[in-house]
């Protein structure tokens, strides 16, 4: 029964993760993304990547808080989809905005803190995606968990990249940061220990 519930949970996560892509692709093809379709593609893929990245941290926090590991099974799936949308975010920027013209694209990728934060976050997510397979888990052993804690670094950089995309403070990056903060705090060893003691009581 539990394995069947896990299967349906995974199916639901896969289906939900593809919805933004299908909606965006349909809108782009139909010309329904407004006067700036390129910008809309870049913005939407970036937002979805951040949402999925933050959601990928929720299962661990839930386990620390409740002891239930039911959501752990979808943690890696959410992380991989976060990388997919982050890669699409970069692809939209490189292809639709710059036409893969390296003369202008390469300087733009390292132009200022916003670009650097996003690029580093994507590189980290790429590394985590590559090492997410069972083979890499066996090769790295205990180091695999240490490596994949870089998800927290990627999430912080992604939110900063989002916030620095605006000239003034906007509500959406603040909400993203507010959602991320308790997930980060829950992983701090003293806090994690406190949660574990509270859970046992």
Q: 173 versus 190: which is more confidently predicted?
A: 173
Candidates 141, 42, 127, 145; CA nearest to 83 is: 127
CA separation for the pair 75, 78 (Å, rounded): 5
For residue 2, what pLDDT band results from cuts at 50, 70 and 90? low
What pLDDT is recorded for position 77?
97
Write the pLDDT tens digit of every residue in 122-181.
999 999 999 999 999 999 998 999 999 999 999 999 999 999 999 898 999 999 999 999
| pTM of this structure | 0.94
Residue 47 has pLDDT above 70, yes or no: yes
Predicted confidence (pLDDT) at residue 81 exceeds the cutoff of 80: yes
Q: What percent of the chain has pLDDT over 70?
A: 99
Spatial distance between the Cα atoms of 79 and 58, rounded to a whole number of angstroms: 11
C-alpha torsion sign, points 88, 113, 34, 96: negative
The pLDDT, as a whole number, for residue 146 is: 92
User: How much is the mean pLDDT over the chain?
Assistant: 93
Q: Which of 65, 69, 62, 61 is nearest to 201 (CA)?
A: 65
């Amino acid at each position: 029964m539990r394995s069947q519930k896990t299967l349906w949970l995974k199916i639901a996560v896969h289906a939900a993760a593809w919805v933004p892509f299908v909606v965006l692709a349909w809108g782009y093809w139909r010309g329904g993304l407004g006067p700036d379709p390129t910008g809309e593609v870049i913005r939407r893929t970036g937002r979805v990547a951040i949402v999925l990245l933050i959601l990928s941290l929720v299962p661990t926090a839930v386990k620390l808080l409740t002891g239930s590991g039911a959501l752990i099974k979808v943690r890696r799936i959410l992380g991989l989809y976060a990388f997919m949308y982050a890669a699409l975010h970069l692809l939209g920027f490189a292809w639709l905005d710059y036409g893969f013209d390296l003369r202008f694209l390469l300087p733009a990728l390292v132009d200022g803190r916003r670009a650097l934060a996003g690029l580093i976050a994507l590189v980290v997510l790429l590394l985590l995606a590559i090492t997410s397979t069972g083979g890499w888990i066996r090769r790295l052993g205990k180091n695999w968990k240490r490596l994949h804690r870089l998800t927290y670094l990627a999430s912080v950089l992604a939110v900063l990249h989002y916030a620095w995309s605006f000239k003034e403070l906007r509500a959406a990056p603040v909400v993203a940061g507010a959602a991320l903060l308790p997930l980060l705090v829950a992983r701090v060893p003293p806090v994690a220990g406190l949660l574990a003691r509270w859970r046992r009581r």
